[in-house]
Amino acid sequence: MLKYLSPYVPAIGLGVTQIMGYGTLMYAYAVLLPHMAEDLSLSLSTVFGILSLGLFFGGLASPIAGTLVDRFGGRYVMTLGTAMAATALVLLSAVQGKFGLFFAILLAEGAGMFILYNVAFASVARLDGPVPAKKSISVITLFGGVASTIFWPLTLALYNWLGWQDTWIVMGVALALICVPINFFVLRGPQKDHDAPQSREQDDWPELTGLARKRGMMWMVISFVFSGYLMGAMMSLWVINVQDLGHSAAMAALAGAVIGPFKTVGRGFEMLVSRNMYPMFTYFLSLALMLSGFAVLLVFGFTLPGVIIAAALYGMGDGIKTIARGTLPLALFGAKGYGARLGWISFVQLSVNASAPFVFAWITQMFGGWYSFAAMTLCLLAALATYFFISDPRRQPNAPSQDRRMSAP
């Protein structure tokens, strides 16, 4: 058993750090920011506007992080980034106004660009090991899916026990003690030569070339922007929006905790069938499941079964989408410069998507949680519409004839 798991140690280790990273740097805001707003005499839209600004300016670091991983590997990039993120979480405990809150969130989100999924994906792709990058990415996301399951109820429990100041301190210390040594040790293996030609890992799937490559990149990024626009809002506003549908805070957190296990269910399903599923179809499936979840939420979200089923469907779709976010650029554009490419894609996404917490918080504040969820549904419909414009390299005239596996619709 240990012999079988040994090649997967980097992916398993990074899976653990993603649980901690997303739990402390993303999901905790949903529970703590409303209470911070009350104590700091700030409006809900103000604190989430500050979060939006922090995400935007923090996103400027994403291309830098990806380029550093391409050049040096992820060991020191992720280790130092984790130490900085832990420091920022501790600073959040001491903020006394909107400027201090902005600085602490900016530092936390900037550091997060050096430790979250995109950098983790690029880090395992740079490792010279026996496990293909796509499979490592699936393993990492399989672990990361339980971040919300753990951290929404855990953050609420810590807040009720300690208050928001000490909760941030506990999270910062835990991130440092657990994730710094994991990132340092699991990424110490030999690295691929970034100057050497990279072999194709995805069943010799062809890359996009010429004008189709540029068009494919453009439409893929646009679709990613739409499908990712609601991600920050869902993480930060789920609890308050579900409360606005008539549920208690504890029940909203419980329903949110369902999202995580079903992210893992979706990712487990993807791992089981990934040999027969091209990343274009993976992405389509994720969008379809997420839209199904929002449809249930809008129609039946006022009932407990409705909100639970909606969370499950959304969780499965979002879990699969996270894998597609890493594997689709790899399949369409190849492994060379993969880290920098993910960094630039992330930068574009964050540049636009950073406004999401503010926009959806404003909609919630002005019109209510149902309308906020309805606006998120429109974003997913736009993502699905633009998906159909993404070029498929298997349909290029010069694409090699081969088993196409499962075709995208």
Q: pTM of the full predicted structure?
A: 0.74
Mean pLDDT, range 185-214, rounded to an integer: 68
- Banded pLDDT at 176 (limits 50, 70, 90): very high
Closest C-alpha among 100, 370, 403, 152 to residue 259: 152
- The more confident residue out of 56 and 75 is 75
CA distance 214 to 270: 28
**Considering only CA atoms, which of 56, 95, 62 is closest in space to residue 81?**
62
pLDDT confidence tier of residue 386, bands split at 50, 70 and 90: very high
The pLDDT assigned to 4 comes to: 56
Q: What Å distances lie between residue 315 and 110, 142, 290, CA to CA? A: 26, 12, 7
DSSP SS3 for 400: coil
**Which one, of 230, 193, 224, 228, lies nearest residue 341 by Cα?**
224
CB atoms under 10 Å from CB of 401, counted, come to 6
Give dist(CA 241, CA 37) in Å, integer: 16
Tell me: pLDDT of 369 over 80: yes
**Amino acid identity at 88:** A
Which range, 24-28, 176-180, 198-202, 266-270, has the best average confidence (pLDDT)? 176-180
Would you give the distance in Å from CA 269 to the centre of its chain? Answer: 18
Given a cut of 90, is residue 337 above it in pLDDT?
A: no
Lowest mean pLDDT among 74-88, 133-147, 353-367, 393-407: 393-407
pLDDT tens across 226-240, in order?
998 887 678 678 888
pLDDT for the residue numbered 256: 78
Q: Assign 202 a pLDDT band (cuts: 50, 70, 90).
A: very low
**pLDDT at position 224:** 92
pLDDT at 272: 75
> Which pLDDT does position 21 carry in this prediction?
92
Tokens of 161: 């026990």
Q: Give the residue with greater pLDDT, 142 vs 96.
A: 96
Interacting residues of 48 by C-beta distance below 8 A, sequence separation 6+:
33, 236, 237, 357, 358, 360, 361
pLDDT of residue 2: 47
Give the C-alpha separation, 179 to 81, whole Å: 10
Lowest mean pLDDT among 2-16, 145-159, 331-345: 2-16
Which residue in 119, 107, 110, 91 sits closest to 17, CA to CA?
119
DSSP string for 21-67: HHIIIIIHHHHHHHHHHHHTT--HHHHHHHHHHHHHHHGGGHHHHHH
**Phi, psi at 407, each rounded to 5°:** -80, 150
Task: Answer whether residue 343 shows pLDDT above 70.
Answer: yes
What integer is the mean pLDDT of 105-116?
90
Q: Provide the pLDDT for residue 397.
A: 60
Residue 291 has pLDDT above 80, yes or no: yes
Pick from 14-18, 297-301, 359-363: least confident: 359-363
Answer yes or no: are the C-beta atoms of 403 and 394 closer than 8 Å.
Answer: no
CB atoms within 10 A of CB 25: 26
Token output for 36: 């911070």
pLDDT score for 204: 56
171: nearest Cα among 48, 23, 36:
23
Place of tokens 């920022």: 88
- CATH class given for the domain over 9-192+202-395: mainly alpha
Find out whether 54 and 25 touch, Cβ atoms under 8 Å: no
pLDDT at 194 over 60: no
* Alpha-carbon gap, residue 302 to 243, rounded angstroms: 10
Helix (H, G, I), strand (E, B) or coil at 316: helix
Domain range list for the chain: 9-192+202-395
Q: Report the mean per-residue pLDDT for the chain.
A: 83
383 Cβ contact list (under 8 Å, min separation 6): 223, 224, 226, 227, 287
Specify whether the CB–CB gap between 313 and 289 falls below 8 A: yes
DSSP letters spanning 196-247? SPPPP-STTPPPP-HHHHHHHHHHHHHHHHHHHHTHHHHHHHHHHHHHHTT-
Residue 131, pLDDT > 50, answer yes
Taking the chain, what is the end-to-end CA distance rounded to the nearest angstrom? 39
More confident residue, 276 or 266: 266
In this prediction, residues 387-393 reach a mean pLDDT of: 87
